[in-house]
Amino acid sequence: MLNKLATGAAPLVLLFLFCLLGPAIWPTDPAALNVGAPLAAPSLSYPLGTDALGRDELARLIHGGRETLSVAVPATLLAFTLGTGYGLIAGFASGILARLLMRLLDALLALPSLVVLLCGAALLPLNRVTVGGLIGVTAWFALARVVRTEIMSLRERDFAQAARQLGAGPLHMARRHLLPNIARLLTVNATFLLGDSVLALSALSFLGLGVPPPAASWGSMLQSGIGLMDLGAWWLILPPGFLIAGSLFAAASAGRMFLSEASNQQTKVFWFFSSEKNSLPSS
Amino acid sequence: MGRVAEAIATLFFLVTLTFLLAHAVPDGPAYAILGLKISPERLNALNTQFGLDAPLWRQYATWLWHLLHGNLGFSYLQTRPVAAVIGAYAGRTVVLYTVATALAAVAAIGFGWLHGVFYRSWPGRVCSGIELFLYAMPGFFIATVLGMVFGSWLHVLPACGMADLHQAAPGLADRMAHMVLPASSMALFVTPWLARIFAQGVHEEFSRDYVRTARARGVGFGSILLRHVTPNAIRPMVTMLGLSLPAIFSGNVVVESVFDYPGIGWLLWRSAVAHDYPVLVGIVLVLGVATMLGNLAADLVNAWLDPRVTYAE
């Protein structure tokens, strides 16, 4: 079992290590210009080549990863809190309030996520806090729905009914009885949310509406690589792209590991299209 | 009928929200038009000219009143009515959308057959692996790599724009060539997902009694697959195709911006970058209507595929 845990979480751990320990292992300054070697192909001194200004691409990728995570991780926490909170309230509510909350959620889920992100980014002054906030505020809808469904079924179970008969208030119910029961599910979804946040940030940065320069996330590095495509600088396009894809894969892999821990059912299908989240990836 | 009313209420809510957000920042539109370094006099003059100094509720009422008369507002960036702007770009996206959806449906059915028929053996597993791989790839990366390989390295397909600007009158062939990369990228985003749903359907249908009976009667494999299994397995895919319209549109924004294809997604992107709020609000409205119609169309196709399905409530 420990083995399975390790293999599932390994990609995510590696990703974090790459970003956290990267500067210690490869201490080149990502902003140092070397005008003598613009667009140098990968070599021993530049393992992943240089960009148009002669900056070391590997160092830039490491720092781009830190940039990406420094926005995506807080965004994940925000989305996680909002989704869990909304799901709890919607699961607890009854009557017209419950219907209203559900309608609102359906409306939010029906929005093309990238459209919401672009509209939001157009309205906000862009910096780390606003971009992270925007991603967090728009990423929680699917989680809220999952939590709501679970809470609705849990609150009808005998132990929950009994606790309520004994006079447990909603807060006590949520903290002591309901949330512990969905802890695994929440862990799974938090992991998936991290992937969603990285993807959202990368898409925004790719479209030039992420955190503005000099900050460079993987998405904006990929974008600037495209401009140099015709010069054959594949090392500016493939590495950031594969790192973004790799982090999505890492999040999915860790989530799937948690999920198979959570239930012994056929989980492969679940994470691929969890029916609760029957929408495509955002972009 | 109830569903339509609900959809309209949702749409109304969305559009109101977008409008209010866009106008929540006082002077926001004025800054968007004239830039951040403008004198207070010019700011005030512009706000008066566009009615942006009125209270928010009055701006909203005016906008709603005009909306009911078919007036979506005026684009700051392109200095012409929003309806005209959207109209100019929408047609191109509809064409791209149609081609991409057709491509995706054909590819998903072909791939889904292979995957569904060999569900538990190695060809199925290979299909499954390919689907997962493509599914995990971010759309903008797929589009970029396709553009890089076919446009920049092999020089076989144009990876920019919707026609060759060096020609005086680009012909149909040229336009089709420019469509190949955007349309196939868009199709690639959805194909793995649709193929997987379809494959599951095919796999399940093959274990049904009627298939066994048909086999016992001596019906050939091809006939079972085409005439019995496929029509039943295809329905969930059609529903999903309808439901996933918003998600496909997200992909569309990415594709149009990567390949500089001047459609609605490109317009949305440029309007967001340039803070052209009336166009943003207009696009959200148009998209909402399109999504509603898309879901309705999927329901109708489903009802046609399976006469037992009714949507009366």
CA distance B155 to chain A (A): 10
* Whole-number pLDDT of residue B261: 86
Residues in Cβ contact with B91 at an 8 Å cutoff, skipping those fewer than 6 apart: none
* Whole-number pLDDT of residue B36: 66
One domain, residues B162 and B57: no
B298 falls within a domain: yes
* Whole-number pLDDT of residue A274: 37
Cβ A90 vs Cβ A50: under 8 Å: no
One domain, residues B220 and B270: yes
Radius of gyration over every alpha carbon of chain A, rounded to an integer in angstroms: 22
CATH of the domain at B122: 1.10.3720.10
Q: How many whole angstroms separate alpha carbon B42 and alpha carbon B55?
A: 19
SS3 annotation, chain B: CHHHHHHHHHHHHHHHHHHHHHHHCCCHHHHHHHCCCCCHHHHHHHHHHCCCCCCHHHHHHHHHHHHHCCCCCECCCCCCEHHHHHHHHHHHHHHHHHHHHHHHHHHHHHHHHHHHHCCCCHHHHHHHHHHHHHHHCCHHHHHHHHHHHHHHHCCCCCCCCCCCCCCCCCCHHHHHHHHHHHHHHHHHHHHHHHHHHHHHHHHHHHCCHHHHHHHHCCCCHHHHHHHHHHHHHHHHHHHHHHHCHHHHHHHHHHHHHHCCCCCHHHHHHHHHHCCCHHHHHHHHHHHHHHHHHHHHHHHHHHHHHCCCCCCCC
B172 falls within a domain: yes
B168 falls within a domain: yes
CA distance A24 to chain B (A): 29
Contacts of B251 in chain A (CB under 8 A): 280, 283
In A, minimum Cα distance to B137 occurs at: A245
In B, minimum Cα distance to A111 occurs at: B246
Contact yes or no for B193 and A273 at CB 8 A:
yes
Q: How many whole angstroms separate alpha carbon A176 and alpha carbon A183?
A: 11
Test the B interface: residue of A204, A280, A282 with most B CBs within 10 Å? A280
What is the total count of domains within chain B?
2
One domain, residues B202 and B244: yes
Contacts of A282 in chain B (CB under 8 A): 247, 250
Cβ B70 vs Cβ B78: under 8 Å: no
* Whole-number pLDDT of residue A275: 33
Q: How many whole angstroms separate alpha carbon B205 and alpha carbon B211?
A: 7
Tell which of B68, B100, B119 closes a domain.
Answer: B68
B312 falls within a domain: no
One domain, residues B43 and B185: no
Tell me the one-letter amino acid at B201.
G
Contacts of B271 in chain A (CB under 8 A): 122
Contact yes or no for B145 and A123 at CB 8 A:
no
CA distance A168 to chain B (A): 36
Which residues lie across from B81 on neighbouring strands? B74
Residue keyed to tokens 């729905």: A145
In A, minimum Cα distance to B288 occurs at: A111
Contacts of B136 in chain A (CB under 8 A): 245, 248-249, 252
One domain, residues B188 and B56: no
pLDDT by position in tens, chain A (length 283): 566 667 777 888 888 888 888 777 777 777 767 667 677 677 777 777 777 776 777 888 888 888 888 899 999 999 999 999 998 888 887 788 888 888 788 777 777 778 888 888 887 778 888 889 889 988 888 888 888 888 888 877 888 888 888 877 778 777 777 888 788 788 888 888 888 898 889 888 888 888 877 778 888 888 888 877 777 777 778 888 888 888 888 887 787 777 766 554 433 333 333 333 333 443 3
Which of A103, A123, A237 faces B144 most closely, judged by CB atoms?
Answer: A237
Contacts of B273 in chain A (CB under 8 A): 122, 207-209
Contact yes or no for B193 and A113 at CB 8 A:
no
Q: What is the mean pLDDT of each run of 10 residues along chain B (313 residues)?
A: 68 76 67 70 76 77 80 78 86 87 88 84 84 81 85 76 70 79 87 86 83 82 81 80 75 86 88 82 81 74 72 50
Contact yes or no for A114 and B250 at CB 8 A:
yes
One domain, residues B50 and B159: no
Q: Torsions phi, psi of A50, nearest 5? A: -130, 165
Altogether, the residues listed in chain B come to a count of 313
Contacts of A273 in chain B (CB under 8 A): 193, 196-197
Domain that includes residue B133, residue range: 84-305
Which of B24, B190, B250 faces A282 most closely, judged by CB atoms?
Answer: B250
Angle at B10 between CA A277 and CA B63, to 5 degrees: 135
* Whole-number pLDDT of residue A82: 93
Contact yes or no for B10 and A237 at CB 8 A:
no
Tell which of B68, B93, B126 closes a domain.
Answer: B68
Cβ A239 vs Cβ A48: under 8 Å: yes
Cα A87 to the chain's mean position, in Å? 19
Contact yes or no for B10 and A209 at CB 8 A:
no
Contacts of A105 in chain B (CB under 8 A): none
Q: How many whole angstroms separate alpha carbon A160 and alpha carbon A13?
A: 37
Test the B interface: residue of A115, A223, A247, A253 with most B CBs within 10 Å? A115
* Whole-number pLDDT of residue B32: 67
Q: How many whole angstroms separate alpha carbon A118 and alpha carbon A128?
A: 16
One domain, residues B240 and B110: yes
CA distance A169 to chain B (A): 33
* pLDDT, tens digit (0-9, with 9 covering 90-100), for B61-114: 888 888 787 777 777 777 788 888 888 888 888 888 888 888 988 998 888 888
Which of A104, A115, A281 faces B268 most closely, judged by CB atoms?
Answer: A115
Q: How many whole angstroms separate alpha carbon B51 and alpha carbon B15?
A: 20
CA distances from A180 to A147, A183, A186 (A): 12, 5, 10
Instruction: Quickly count: other Cβ atoms within 10 Å of residue B74's Cβ.
Output: 17
One domain, residues B33 and B96: no
One domain, residues B123 and B28: no
B132 falls within a domain: yes
One domain, residues B20 and B138: no
Test the A interface: residue of B15, B250, B287 with most A CBs within 10 Å? B250
Residues in Cβ contact with A200 at an 8 Å cutoff, skipping those fewer than 6 apart: A75, A113, A117, A135, A138, A139, A282
Preceding peptide of A214 cis, ω within 30°: yes
Tell which of B11, B44, B68 closes a domain.
Answer: B68
* Whole-number pLDDT of residue B27: 61
One domain, residues B115 and B30: no
Contact yes or no for A115 and B250 at CB 8 A:
yes
Which of B144, B251, B272 faces A222 most closely, judged by CB atoms?
Answer: B144
B79 falls within a domain: no
In B, minimum Cα distance to A200 occurs at: B138
CA distance B304 to chain A (A): 23
B75 falls within a domain: no
Cβ A198 vs Cβ A246: under 8 Å: no
**Which helix (H) or strand (E) is A262 found in, with range?**
helix A238-262
B76 falls within a domain: no
In B, minimum Cα distance to A196 occurs at: B138
One domain, residues B63 and B95: no
Which of B6, B144, B269 faces A241 most closely, judged by CB atoms?
Answer: B144
Q: How many whole angstroms separate alpha carbon B171 and alpha carbon B252?
A: 24
Contacts of B268 in chain A (CB under 8 A): 115, 118
